[in-house]
Chains A and B, each alone.
Chain A
Amino acid sequence: MQLLMSLLTGLIFGLGLIVSGMTDPSKVTGFLDLAGAWDPSLALVMGGAIGVGLIAFRLARTRARAILGGPMHLPEARQIDRRLVLGGLTFGVGWGLAGFCPGPALASLATGGSKPLIFTLAMLLGMAIFEIQNRLSQSPPKEIAC
């Protein structure tokens, strides 16, 4: 049941990305281009998603377990450190360069031709580089926020 819900959640997430226009990188860079012809659409995507999310996370706070019975896997990290900020900045540069972030790239893989595929492979390579670097460094891998 949990697997089926994971599949369905991924599907609905992807449909939301397509409906919202966020699978179009030119629409994302149109939002990021504050100094040019600005397309505010992405702000409404975030607004709509966070509006629903605020209610869901408020409901989740009162629950000890998920509805399907499993534990609640909520992020425990609290510290705002260099790693968080530098990671965010690095991601933002890549996001601005191509207009792709992980969700829309995956939701474009099946139908988008070679460009989303090239981006996704490079992204997976980047994630693998992080894993290797993380394993080589002394600190044990931290449980990640999301």
Chain B
Amino acid sequence: MIDWAHFTPWTSLAGGILIGASAAMFLLLNGRIAGISGILGGLLRPKAGDAGWRVAFVLGLVASPLVYQLVVPLPSVQIDAGTALLVVAGLLVGVGTRYGSGCTSGHGVCGLSRLSPRSMVATAAFMCAGFLTVFIVRHWMY
């Protein structure tokens, strides 16, 4: 059953195109994959001359809501998870994305665009785990 009240086809498609454009720019101009977990995680493995572009990308990403706010108010968000759940989720996301070499951006957007079989498998794995986790939390535990 589709949640028509929350479904935002046009803005989500437009935002997706922006994300794709960003990944395209990064690939064609800088020769890099816009994978957030890899860019961030690479900072924890310092190599000479490798940190600058990572820091610049992360700064741009972190600054994005501040720039957005200059034009229009930020959309309201709802974070249901409490502190303990956020810590557990963060740890799992941190370990999992590094162990699996990527997240929604690196495997999901860039890898699928590259038609990489590895990224297809990784994306299927995190999507299925995400579906199953939400199913268990929302429909079994409550």
Give A residues with C-beta under 8 Å from B.
2-27, 29-30, 32-42, 44-57, 59-60, 63, 65-68, 70-75, 77-80, 83-103, 105-112, 115-116, 118-131, 134, 141-142, 144-146
Taking CB atoms, residues of chain B closer than 8 Å to A72 are 27, 31
Given contacts A50-B112, A102-B103, contact A6 B135 (CB under 8 A): no
Taking CB atoms, residues of chain A closer than 8 Å to B75 are 18, 21, 23-24
Q: Is the CB of B3 within 8 A of A49?
A: no
Taking CB atoms, residues of chain A closer than 8 Å to B9 are 40-41, 44
- Cβ of A8 to closest chain B Cβ, rounded Å: 6
Q: Is the CB of A87 within 8 A of B96?
A: yes
Partner of B113, one of A50, A100, A116, A131: A50
How many B residues are at the interface, by size bracket? 35 or more
- Chain B residues numbered 87-133 whose CB sits less than 8 Å from any CB in chain A: 87-119, 121-133
Partner of B15, one of A10, A48, A146: A48
Partner of A46, one of B16, B53, B62: B16
Given contacts A7-B56, A48-B17, A85-B125, contact A97 B68 (CB under 8 A): no
Q: Is the CB of A15 within 8 A of B68?
A: yes
- Chain B residues numbered 30-65 whose CB sits less than 8 Å from any CB in chain A: 30-38, 40-42, 44-45, 52-54, 56-65
Q: Is the CB of B65 within 8 A of A110?
A: yes
Taking CB atoms, residues of chain A closer than 8 Å to B101 are 75, 77, 83-84, 87, 142, 144-146
Q: Is the CB of A49 within 8 A of B137?
A: no
Q: Is the CB of A89 within 8 A of B129?
A: yes
